[in-house]
Amino acid sequence: MKRLLRDPKIKAKVDKLLAQMTLEQKIGQMIQVERLSCTPDEVKHYHLGSVFSGAGSAPDDNSPKGWTEMLDQYWLASTEKDEQHLGVPILYGVDAIHGHNNVKGATIFPHNIGLGAADDPSLVGHIAAVTSIEVLATGVDWVFAPNLAVAQDPHWGRTYESFSESPQIAVKYAERIINGFHKGFNEIGVLTCVKHWVGDGGTSHGIDHGNTLLDFADLKNTHMQPYYAALEAGALTVMASFSSWNGNKCHGNRALLTDMLKGEMQFQGFILSDMDGIDYLSDDFYTCVETAVNAGIDMFMLTNHWQMFIEHLKSHVELGRVPMSRIDDAVRRILSVKVKAGVFEKVQPSLRVGANSGNFGSFAHREVAREAVRKSMVLLKNDANMLPLNKSSRILVAGKNAHNRGNQCGGFTLDWQGRTGNSAIEGGSSIWDGIKAVAPNATLISSLDELNDTQEQDLDKYEVAILVIGEQPYAEGVGDIRESDEIIVEMGSQIDGQINLLQPYGKSLELAKLHPEDGELIRRFEAQGISVVTVLVSGRPLIINPELNSSNAFIAAWLPGSEGQGVSDLIFGDDNFSGKLSFTWPKQLKTLNTDSTALFPVGFGLKY
């Protein structure tokens, strides 16, 4: 949206508002506060520009009705005019990265790694449009999506949020996703925020919040490319990355935020910080505020110390450390986006078109998600045409992910780190649900202990075992796979000593392999002479060599979301596989990165 700030109608409205605003009102517009840290009265008193729900933050009544009732209170407070308050409406933001994933009963789509394997721009545009309908049903008008990271190392706990290890798929998808949400900013449009600027997928050792060591040409050619497409498509907000580029934190990097994004790329929307992302610029929060504002961040996503931010920024302006022109530029950008997005014309959330829509989590929406599951799965092995299976076969289904909608949805589902189990995820189907719906002779064994209690003669009656194995939910740094604590210390020294931030994160490198119980399960059936179809539920490629060798067929199902029935559609031949790997599948444990010798290359994927 290269003409946003120069659009005569938008400029006239913004000029009028700016002329009436005090410094306190301007600073208020630059702040976005987590809902649990502010009341509706504080939204008005401090003139806050935005409120958001962090991952897992939801009203007690976690339904569309509960959300619109909550949002009404914040919106009405923001728009109530008096002598001290202009009544500028807030934007309310959420992470809706694979459906409206904070809300019970929402349609949960496959995470981006699966959509990358689908390589279908039309499909992702449809998913964005469906997600926007479910977002609007709750009264929300801003989503922190899409994630345009180009993940380079599956050690990274956010690998599943990336479409591919190369930028081309994200470049193809950006326009479809943004248009699918924005819809021309009519009454059924939702504002997007592309993230995270820039290079978060390229950190050394895949460490979250880590350091991307690249020259500018490589940073631009790999990690910036999707942003060019997103800005061309009309993206109006961009979220800064927690990561560093060559040792300098992106949240304080004027060369990246102002000179490159706003200057060379002519971005005229506004830049949002990540949650408390400026805190790591210095041990002194007062310095953090000055550095981040002057670097070019316009709106600040804050949790508990937002009132301190207000006082600090006001002090910096009064002392001349932050020029008033920088404040005016930030607020002009924020107000221009609000005008362009139609915020000033909207009524309260519960009265908007689409609010409390009966389409929320509907069958039609779930059918789109089921299609996405079918198109995202990749067939890695199919010896002797093992697949498709006959629906009348005697089938034993086992594995911790066979009947677990929480595990198949992954992280950023109702909670930040996701949830395990079926009770948390309302609606949809587990992979087992999909199998039993079409295969009358299928039986579920829910645990390895239950299998161990089963007599060998009882197992002999089965013709094939479908084993659904893999990862359990995780998100961000908690899901990182670490080679050693020494690497964390090394990385800490490269990013201004933020070792305390990194040390609690990550898990043993052993998690790059399948869990021991998964391998034991497969070996048990192999020893019994029962044919094995393995379905891997995971947010990244894992080391699967022994399990692959012991399986007759092997499927990468990624994190398919709420509609597990899409998996059975392919197992039994109701549709054929079309997914192709968008990430290199590594062969060796010690070289778990895209430079390793590939077990399967990008683009690999079998059909029947």
H/E stretch holding 566: helix 565-571
Give DSSP secondary structure letters for 271-308. EE--TTGGGGG-SSHHHHHHHHHHHT--BEEESS-HHH
Distance CA 508, CA 502 (A): 14
The amino acid that residue 555 corresponds to is: I
Distance CA 430, CA 440 (A): 16
Residues known to be catalytic: 274, 476
Counting DSSP H helices and E strands in the chain, the numbers are: 23, 22
Give DSSP secondary structure letters for 215-237. -HHHIIIIIIHHHHHHHHTT--E
CB 88 within 8 A of CB 30: no
Using a 10 angstrom Cβ sphere, with 0-12 exposed, 13-18 middle and 19 or more buried, the burial of residue 314 is: middle
CB 99 within 8 A of CB 359: no
Using a 10 angstrom Cβ sphere, with 0-12 exposed, 13-18 middle and 19 or more buried, the burial of residue 82 is: exposed
Residue that the structure tokens 């517009």 belong to: 29
**Distance, CA of 398 to chain centre:** 29
Long-range contacts, 74-77 (Cβ 8 Å, 24+): 74/35, 74/40, 74/43, 75/139, 75/348, 75/349, 76/40, 76/348, 77/40, 77/41, 77/43, 77/44
Distance CA 43, CA 462 (A): 62
Neighbouring-strand partners of residue 398: 445, 467
> Phi and psi dihedrals of 272, rounded to 5?
-105, 140
Distance CA 274, CA 587 (A): 35
